[in-house]
Structure 1
Amino acid sequence: MPDPVAGNTKVVAVPALDETMMAMDVVDTIRHADRLVERELGGAERQQRLRERLREIYKSQGIEVSDSVLDQGITALEEKRFAYTPKGEGWKRSLATAWATRSRWGRFALAGLGVLLVGWGVFHFTVVAPRQREAAAVARELNTELPRTLRAEYDRVLAGTQDAQPRADAARLLAEGEAAARAGNLTEARARRTALNDLAARLAAAYSVRIVNRPGEPSAIWRVPASNPRARNYYLIVEAVDRDGRPVEVQVTSEEDGITARVSRWGLHVPEAEFERVRRDKLANGIIEQPVIGEKPAGSLATRWTVQTTGGAILSW
């Protein structure tokens, strides 16, 4: 009967709940009988034949189903009304699935995390930490230690000599070393510090240069230079000793091959006349009357010679 307030209203008949549930059961029966669906829905009179087949199925189970219920089930199946279509994969579904299956993969994830943590710890303590300590040590040396030690070695040089040339050399080495330290060039800064240290040590050294005069050892030799086979170079074999007669190593460069070494004994290049004088002196009685031919005082880099010499030297003979 029309509602007096709303006016004319179309009334829709709602199937009873039992019929709806029965229709859903019909759909489920058809869905789980794949062969039945394939056979009965394949012909032109498919609905009628399917209805009869379904009636036989339910009758065998002692269930009476009306044609309207069977029609509702067949229609619902075709329209996929009661079918469940899963939603597509998404991050929420993936997260939920991962949480639900955590008992399966959790152990492996924890083990993998443990391996990563151990690996990171080993890498940190064996690679990262040593590199950090080394970098900190280099920075400390460049910013603090090298400037201080460069200045200290420079002051040693100034305190050890009044000669202009060594002081100028020290000033140059100091400036180069400080510039290298500011630029982060550790190798060059250290090299300048070593050079200053060597300069200070050479200035502080005091020794005498004497001709070697011991049985079985030569006191003088001559050599034929490779560049002029008709010439001869004459050398006195000398050694540096301190005031107590102990050997002193000094820096000597060979004029034959340019090699520089710290030695206490070397060959000093002299004129032929000096060579002959020493040779005759030793032949006379086996003793060289005046073996000391040079003095190197503290505070100077130069040796004061009492014989004529070019200053050239050799390191082997």
Structure 2
Amino acid sequence: MPDTTARAPALDETMLAMDVVDTIRHADRLVERELGGTDRQARLRERLREIYASQGIEVADHVLDQGIAALEEKRFAYTPKGEGWQRSLATAWATRARWGRLALAGIGLLVVGLGAYWFTVVAPRQREAAAIARELQQDLPRALRAEHDRVVAGTQEPGPRAEAARLLAEGEAAARAGSLADARARRQALADLTARLAAAYTVRIVNRPGEPSAVWRVPAANPRARNYYLVVEAVDRDGRPVQVPVTSEEDGRVARVSRWGQRVPEAEFERVRRDKLADGIIDQPVIGEKAAGTMDTRWTIQTSGGAILSW
């Protein structure tokens, strides 16, 4: 015969136990107060009996014990399942009308932004890099060689030719090393050398009313001394000004000018001064000549080569 004492609880007792659990769960203060001591189950059972008695319900002790045990074991508590990828996918599909438009708008903005970045940043940088590479590999080497050949064709003097060879070698080495600034600088130096060799002009003393033809200066290093200068200008065969590189001996500044002060001995300074005072005209104004294919001016008077840029 089966043991009747171990039979499953009746349905009404189970429902009553569930009600006990629900009563305890919704009475948070009761749980906190009654479950705090060592004899918590006995006190909780008594408190629950009072609650049900006030409602006219008589509950057996073993039903109360089942409810208390079920609460502690969380037997009748609902624990939601975690959201797996299938649930997330289903939720996304169900709500596609809500987030689809936003997603499409976001993708559109992303595409527009990437396109704008490409056309305004990436593409210009790539074109610039390609242009620099082409200049270093093709344009600059050709330009350097062409300027070198112009120098060689324009002079027989060994000095300028040696200078052109040095600049060409340095420029080609800079281009191979990817140093754009250095390669361009050597090309410009060769172009300046070519222009300087090609220039042809005469140097004459300025002889116009209201303008000085000679000046003297007291050097800062020796206040008791005087430096004497003739104010001169470079002109071509038609009398037009020609700009030439001049270095100031006072501060080392280099400038391209058509007029400057050329340092001369005191005797030459006095000769020009007396000549102009005599009748206001300098009889021999030309004091130097620079021929095409040469670097230096051939002077017809004695000069130290020093110059000034202002007076």
Distance 2:300 2:276 in 1: 18
C-alpha distance in 2, partners of 1:27/1:91? 28
- Larger deviation, residues 44-53 vs 229-238: 44-53
Q: Is the 8 Å Cα contact of residues 54 and 70 (structure 1) preserved in structure 2?
A: no
Q: Does 1:158 align with 2:158?
A: no
For the residue of structure 2 that corresponds to 1:196, the secondary structure is helix
Q: Distance in 1 between matches of 2:72 and 2:228?
A: 122
**1:221/1:236 contact within 8 Å kept:** yes
Q: CA deviation at 1:130?
A: 5.1
Q: CA 1:243–1:69 in structure 2 vs 1: closer, same or farther (change >3 Å)?
A: same
Offset of residue 153 of structure 1: 1.7
The equivalent of 2:202 in structure 1 is 208
Tell me how far 1:176 sits from its aligned partner: 1.8
Of 264-273 and 12-21, the range deviating more from structure 2: 12-21
Deviation by residue 1:215-263 (Cα, 9 ceiling, x = unmatched): 2222233333333344333322211111111000111112222221111
More moved, 232-241 vs 113-122: 113-122
- Distance, in Å, in 2 between the alignment partners of 1:36 and 1:301 is 111
Deviations 1:112-155 (A, max 9, x none): 96898477777666666655554444444333332232222222
* Equivalent position of 1:238 in the other structure: 232
The amino acid that maps onto 2:266 is E
Q: Please tell me the residue identity of whatever aligns with 1:198.
A: D
The residue that corresponds to 2:215 in the other structure is 221
Who is 1:182 aligned against?
Answer: 176
Deviation per residue, 1:63-90 (Å, 9 max, x gap): x977765664454345432233567xx7
Q: SS state of the match for residue 173, structure 2?
A: helix
Change (3 A) 1:27 1:300: same
Q: Which position in structure 2 is the counterpart of 1:278?
A: 272
| 1:281/1:15 CA distance change after superposition, 3 Å | same
- Structure 1: where are the runs of 5+ without partners? 3-10
CA distances 1:190-237 after superposition (whole Å, capped 9, x unpaired): 222221111110001111111222222222333333333443333222
Decide whether the 8 Å contact of 2:245 with 2:254 is kept in 1: yes
1:308 counterpart = 2:308: no
**Residue 146 of structure 1 aligns with which residue?**
140
RMSD: 4.4
Change beyond 3 A, Cα 1:275–1:36:
closer
Given the alignment, which residue of 279, 289, 293 partners 2:287?
293
In structure 2, runs of 5+ residues without a counterpart are none
Q: If the length of structure 1 is used for normalisation, what is the TM-score?
A: 0.73
CA contact (8 A) 1:157 1:200 kept: yes
Quote the Cα distance in structure 2 between the aligned partners of 1:30 and 1:291. Answer: 124
Q: Determine helix, strand or coil for the equivalent of 2:263.
A: strand
Among candidates 151, 168, 177, match of residue 162 of structure 2: 168
- Deviation, 1:55, is 6.7
The count of residues paired between Structure 1 and Structure 2 equals 301
Q: Contact 1:51–1:71 (CA<8 Å) still a contact in 2?
A: no
Identity %: 72
Change (3 A) 1:249 1:82: same
| Mapping for residues 1-317 of structure 1, pairs under 5 Å | 13-15=7-9, 17=11, 19-33=13-27, 44=42, 47=45, 50=48, 54=52, 57=55, 59=57, 72-85=66-79, 92=84, 96=88, 117=110, 131-317=125-311
Aligned to 1:188, the other structure's residue is in SS state helix
TM value normalised by structure 2: 0.75
